[in-house]
Structure 1
Amino acid sequence: MSKDIRIKKGLDLKLKGDAEKVVSVVSRSKVYAINPSDFNGVTPKMVVKEGAKVKAGEIIFYSKNDESVKFVSPVSGTIQEIKRGEKRVILQILITADSQDIHLEHSKKNLKDLSSQEVKEQLLASGCWPFINQRPYDVIANSADTPKAIFVSAYASAPLTADVDFVLENKTEAFQAGIDALAKLTSGKVHLSLKGKEKSALENISGVSIHKVFGPHPAGNVGVQISKIDPINAGDRVWTVAPQDVATIGEFFLTGKFNATKTIALSGSEVKDAQYYTLISGAQISDLVAGKIKGDNVRIISGDIFTGNKVTQNGFLGFYSNTVTVIPEGNEYRMFGWMPFASPSIHSAQRTGLSWLMPGKKYAPNTNLNGEERALVVTGEMENVMPLDIYPMQLLKACIANDIDKMENLGIYEVAPEDFALIDYTNTSKLEAQVIIRKALNLMIKEVG
């Protein structure tokens, strides 16, 4: 039986620059990129060399740790450059795109006739497998595992992120096919979470257990939903897939082609006429933002403001990004910045400013941290924005100390860096909680497996 999820702890940060629900098509980039850094824990082994011609959906590299997991080209074209760093670590693969895509075609098969193993083989061969992430550790799922459940969160609660219902309103058939494929991969249920109090076209999707989610961010985080619906115990494996990626998986089974086209929200206070755009994954940021940014002193983020990565206009859209956010850069000194009441235009999560008197006001924050890391931790502060049933402060301390036993006891298997994003924003100590958790998870992979 489905159950509603009600979250009280958290914070809804209201920001200027929501994307208007209008979709335009971005002109085709001349160059596309695949960044191995988008795939945590993956060591790429190249299949092609510089100068090679590739089709859209053709294998570019595979994971050294799991050779069955393939990564494919988003477009057809020529491998322009394989950028390497120290010890020849692959940093980026650049692809000069053809004027029109030629797709690598796979045979179309009826999902109803496929076994679990056959569906898995199709996903691995097509390049769709990297869309499937695993908890614990928040990494690409191990192809040898069978999860106890699969979770899809169609509630984007982070500020300025793409509205899932709007993005998928014309893709319900593909989404249903994706759900049907995922259902073949688990002995348990496929859980679909929707925003409470709002009607959704996804309410009619079959083969899923639907949950309505109520509450502030991070209620939309899949980790929060897992903890409320089917918590992870020792030895469990749970898989998660983003809604647009479910539709991409479904489209592959319907057409036999890997289609890396996605709809993203270009949002933020520094965007002129923020709206939605359709483009291909790995596209150059400059083609998206050209002529659409108000000023020069801005921060462009591939992703949302809490968990996204900083990119330049010469950078590229991340593999998992469904939002590009543009906000003011925080490199300007603010007079009397130490005085919390100096400016009513600044949001404060701790009631040290005036923002708590104006709950409906929208803000245009910059990237200024308003202070350096401090040798203090305010007791109870982190718990106010952490809806998971864990002790976040104690877990972070155990992670900093690399104390594996304490990390296990305090819930490291249940969390991902995104679950600590609000702590990054609100905590007085200025700790980089997401970085700490990511390092701790990597340590657990290395030491525990």
Structure 2
Amino acid sequence: MSKDIKIKKGLDIKLVGEADKTVEQAIVSNFCTIRPEDFHSVIPKLIAKEGTRVKAGDVLFYNKDIEAMKFVSPVSGEIVEIERGPRRRIDAIKIQADKPQSHKDFGKFNMNSDAASTKAHLLASGCWAFIKQRPYDVIANPEKSPKSIFISGLSTAPLAADLDFVLAGKEEALQAAVSALSKLTEGQVHIGVGSNNSPLASMNDATIHNVSGPHPAGNVGTHINKLDPVNKGETVWTVNAQDLVVIGELLLTGKFNAERIVALAGSSVKKPRYFKTIIGSEVATMIYDNGVEKGGNDRIISGNVLSGKQLKPDGSLGFYDNVLTVIPEGDDYEFFGWNKPVFNKISTSRAFTFSWLNPKKKYELNTNTNGEHRAFVVTGSYEKVFPLDIYPMQILKACKYEDLDEMEALGMYEVAPEDFALTEFICVSKQPHQDIIRKGLDLMLKEIG
């Protein structure tokens, strides 16, 4: 079987505001915030209390269902606030960071250790949070063994960080992480790369696949579907490429180093570029020093424009995110917008839109959905941008009416919400596809486990 993955179905959304390939040190954030909602399905049991001083790597909370699964502080400092929601749910843990940072020493790991020792070390150090699983797109269950592990070394989402650029020079840490992960599966570690220049292209203990095509060619879900689909009773694990660096440095140095290179991008940013920062840092320190108007009518997104999470101006970087996107808020209305030729928007339809005439043009889009929510309309457009061997319309409807047997039969075990970001983008019915899939996965996790 060919190692190459070539995708024809999909859609590249070219937007204004791509980050220039220059890296600056972000202004050191005074506060760092960890939100348990980033770890879907985890019920946190708090260990650290308000007023407690912690080092980077000290445990903040653990998973109630799997007590060995620890979640640690990315910085050293004092816990100044525990934000709680309804029924005393833990919404956020806010840490006032020290200026000189100190780290808990986990000790340099013996890379010749067996799988059990490797797993125990990753769980104790907080690095297990970086390992996710399909089915259900949640943090991996350490009590189960995956049939394979997938890592994507390219991101094809709009304005996404260039992984070849941000991973450059991190080959030693990447190799340590890949070698450790290879011990946790009886199958293969699959790595998808966009070119032979990728720092991941030379990894040992892994199978390298050259990936090409439009978005979502870079999604790990696309690679799973093409190489090793997930059936009932099977599990595969996934790890983000930049999270490999944190895992590798932990193994090599014994320190949980939560530093991350983040792309600040979007048409509302005057100087889009890359910053060195820390997971959970305040986004205001990067955004408002780069031409984004304070109090302006812009949307701040932690992640890409298709699957990221909206932030408030005082928000913090998501645990898994490596891009901050700022685009105009689309709260305006166009007179007869549905009945006139459109030249400044991208669309898969040729009715009144002309983006197909200039495929290389970059667009300055806002958040306007250009329509309102309505019942599903069968147009056949989803299949044009959905490369997985799955029927998107049928699986969405099965999730809506909660038919577990049909969801299983249609391939629900191998999908994640991000796999449906493009179908949501082009949906003429303005249905929240990613939310529908997330609720469907949660139902299966609850009922089937």
1:57, 1:257 within 8 Å by CA — same for their partners in 2? yes
In structure 1, distance between residues paired with 2:232 and 2:323: 34
| Length, aligned pairs only | 446
Aligned to 1:139: 138
- Is 1:386 the counterpart of 2:390? The answer is no
1:162 counterpart letter in structure 2: A
After superposition, the C-alpha distances for 1:223-268 in whole angstroms (9 at most, x for unaligned) are 1101111111221110000011111101001100000000010011
Aligned to 2:160: 161
2:376, 2:431 within 8 Å by CA — same for their partners in 1? no
Aligned to 1:310: 310
**Structure 2 SS opposite 1:206:** coil
After TM superposition, give the deviation of residue 340 of structure 1 in Å.
Answer: 4.6
2:211 counterpart letter in structure 1: V
In structure 1, distance between residues paired with 2:254 and 2:304: 31
**Structure 1 SS opposite 2:91:** strand
Aligned to 2:116: 117
Aligned to 1:250: 248
Aligned to 1:207: 205
**Structure 1 SS opposite 2:56:** coil
- Is 1:229 the counterpart of 2:222? The answer is no
2:24, 2:275 within 8 Å by CA — same for their partners in 1? yes
In structure 2, distance between residues paired with 1:291 and 1:297: 17
2:260 counterpart letter in structure 1: K
After TM superposition, give the deviation of residue 379 of structure 1 in Å.
Answer: 3.3
2:153, 2:198 within 8 Å by CA — same for their partners in 1? no
In structure 1, which of residues 237, 259, 263 is the aligned counterpart of residue 257 of structure 2? Answer: 259
2:232, 2:408 within 8 Å by CA — same for their partners in 1? no
TM (norm. structure 2) is 0.98
Query: What runs of 5+ residues in structure 1 fail to find an aligned partner?
Result: none
1:378, 1:428 within 8 Å by CA — same for their partners in 2? no
Aligned to 1:377: 377
RMSD: 1.1
Aligned to 1:84: 84
After superposition, the C-alpha distances for 1:276-322 in whole angstroms (9 at most, x for unaligned) are 00000000011111221344111110000011000022000000001
1:2, 1:209 within 8 Å by CA — same for their partners in 2? no
Q: Would the alpha carbon gap of residues 228 and 376 (structure 1) be closer, same or farther in structure 2, given more than 3 Å must change? A: closer
Aligned to 1:178: 177
Moved more, 103-112 or 386-395: 103-112
Aligned to 1:193: 192
In structure 1, distance between residues paired with 2:199 and 2:322: 19
2:345, 2:363 within 8 Å by CA — same for their partners in 1? yes
Query: What runs of 5+ residues in structure 2 fail to find an aligned partner?
Result: none
Aligned to 2:40: 40
Aligned to 1:274: 272
Aligned to 2:26: 26
After TM superposition, give the deviation of residue 378 of structure 1 in Å.
Answer: 2.4
Question: Quick one: percent identity of the two aligned structures?
Answer: 53
In structure 1, distance between residues paired with 2:5 and 2:186: 23
**Structure 1 SS opposite 2:344:** coil
- Is 1:65 the counterpart of 2:76? The answer is no
2:329, 2:367 within 8 Å by CA — same for their partners in 1? yes
**Structure 2 SS opposite 1:124:** helix
**Structure 1 SS opposite 2:10:** coil
In structure 1, distance between residues paired with 2:66 and 2:400: 29
After TM superposition, give the deviation of residue 199 of structure 1 in Å.
Answer: 2.9
After TM superposition, give the deviation of residue 202 of structure 1 in Å.
Answer: 2.3
After superposition, the C-alpha distances for 1:369-396 in whole angstroms (9 at most, x for unaligned) are 1111122412311111111111110111
1:2, 1:210 within 8 Å by CA — same for their partners in 2? no
After superposition, the C-alpha distances for 1:164-196 in whole angstroms (9 at most, x for unaligned) are 110010111100111011111111111110015
**Structure 1 SS opposite 2:208:** strand
Aligned to 1:325: 325
After TM superposition, give the deviation of residue 336 of structure 1 in Å.
Answer: 2.1
In structure 1, distance between residues paired with 2:387 and 2:340: 27
In structure 2, distance between residues paired with 1:416 and 1:214: 21
In structure 1, distance between residues paired with 2:363 and 2:190: 34
Q: Would the alpha carbon gap of residues 364 and 117 (structure 1) be closer, same or farther in structure 2, given more than 3 Å must change? A: same
Q: Would the alpha carbon gap of residues 179 and 410 (structure 1) be closer, same or farther in structure 2, given more than 3 Å must change? A: same
TM (norm. structure 1) is 0.98
Aligned to 2:101: 101
**Structure 2 SS opposite 1:321:** coil
Aligned to 1:238: 236
In structure 2, distance between residues paired with 1:340 and 1:424: 23
After superposition, the C-alpha distances for 1:367-423 in whole angstroms (9 at most, x for unaligned) are 001111122412311111111111110111110001111111111111100000001
Moved more, 375-384 or 354-363: 375-384
In structure 1, distance between residues paired with 2:61 and 2:67: 9
Aligned to 1:421: 421
Aligned to 2:17: 17
1:443 counterpart letter in structure 2: L
After TM superposition, give the deviation of residue 334 of structure 1 in Å.
Answer: 2.0
2:50, 2:80 within 8 Å by CA — same for their partners in 1? yes
**Structure 1 SS opposite 2:445:** helix
**Structure 2 SS opposite 1:107:** coil
In structure 1, distance between residues paired with 2:255 and 2:356: 50
